[in-house]
Amino acid sequence: MKVVIADDEPLARERLRDLLAEIKGVEVVADAADGHEALHACATHRPDLVLLDIAMPGIDGLEAARHLAAFEPRPAVVFCTAYDAHALSAFEAEAIDYLVKPVRPERLAAAIERVRTFAAGRGQATAASSTAPVQRRTHLCARLRGSLRLIPVEEVHYLHAEEKYVIVHHARGEDLIEESLKSLEEEFGERFVRIHRNCLVARHEIVELKRSPDGHVQAMLRHGKQPLEVSRRCVAGLRDTLKHL
């Protein structure tokens, strides 16, 4: 079993390495000091398991787990944290287990066995249900030839669906992500507005609506190189949105 350890505390990473060295059939292939490094390590090494701290700088463990859910193959996630207050959120992120620091050897060994059972298809992780809203991601994740690029959502100008991909137009260029426009709209609906069945635009990017010579309504963007077509069914709602910006 290949394992990636992610924790911002070097001593915590070292302790987990020592504990894992005592478990047969486990190999630590990389460690990371934050969620960003963890995602890169997973894209490179394709681990079976990621031991994730939750409170880390930048991209924390919970957000990293949500990105890992889109990886193929998807690694199992076990959270290792000093606080038990995040347990419900951890299982909403479909973690296999949740360990509280200091991690006891027998508890870690039990978590490893749960992961092995899960990987073998003999059982499934039990996810706790909750009516609490899932926290939105702060980044989108684009896969690039075995590596990845994390795009801050606040830098995204608009999202354009093309076949099975979505093109993310952002402050530093363009990237492809393998997510549906519908799921992105559900997650980031407060930030983006639909202007066409295949396009979501950041609300603050829309400067004005204009009618083209052929009668079509177009959205003029603050950072767009060219106007974007607005479908007839979206025009009324978009005009109402602009009134409240």
Q: Where in the chain is the domain with CATH 3.40.50.2300?
A: 2-119
Q: Is the pLDDT of residue 127 over 80?
A: no
User: Does 161 or 85 have the greater pLDDT score?
Assistant: 161
Cα–Cα distance, 28 to 47 (Å, whole number): 9
Mean pLDDT in the chain?
88
Instruction: Please state which CATH number belongs to domain 139-243.
Output: 2.40.50.1020
Q: Give mean pLDDT, residues 175-197.
A: 93
Q: List pLDDT tens digits, range 218-241.
A: 999 999 889 999 999 999 989 888
Cα–Cα distance, 176 to 69 (Å, whole number): 17
Give pLDDT, residue 92.
65
**Residue from 213, 183, 181 nearest 195 by CA:** 181
Cα–Cα distance, 90 to 54 (Å, whole number): 9
Cα–Cα distance, 123 to 115 (Å, whole number): 9
Q: Which CATH superfamily is domain 2-119 in?
A: Response regulator (3.40.50.2300)
Residue 44's region, left for phi above 0, alpha for psi from -120 to 50, else beta, is: alpha
Q: Cβ(52)–Cβ(6) under 8 Å? A: yes
Lowest mean pLDDT among 77-81, 104-108, 125-129, 140-144: 125-129
Q: Give mean pLDDT, residues 30-41.
A: 95
Give pLDDT, residue 95.
85
Q: Cβ(221)–Cβ(205) under 8 Å? A: yes
Q: Where in the chain is the domain with CATH 2.40.50.1020?
A: 139-243
- For 104, residues 6+ apart whose C-beta sits below 8 A from its C-beta are none
Q: List pLDDT tens digits, range 54-103.
A: 999 989 999 999 899 888 888 999 999 887 666 666 666 678 888 999 99
Give pLDDT, residue 206.
95
Q: Is the pLDDT of residue 18 over 60?
A: yes
Q: Is the pLDDT of residue 38 over 50?
A: yes
pTM beyond cutoff 0.75: no
Q: Is the pLDDT of residue 242 over 70?
A: yes
- Looking at the chain, the whole-number percentage of residues with pLDDT higher than 70 is 89
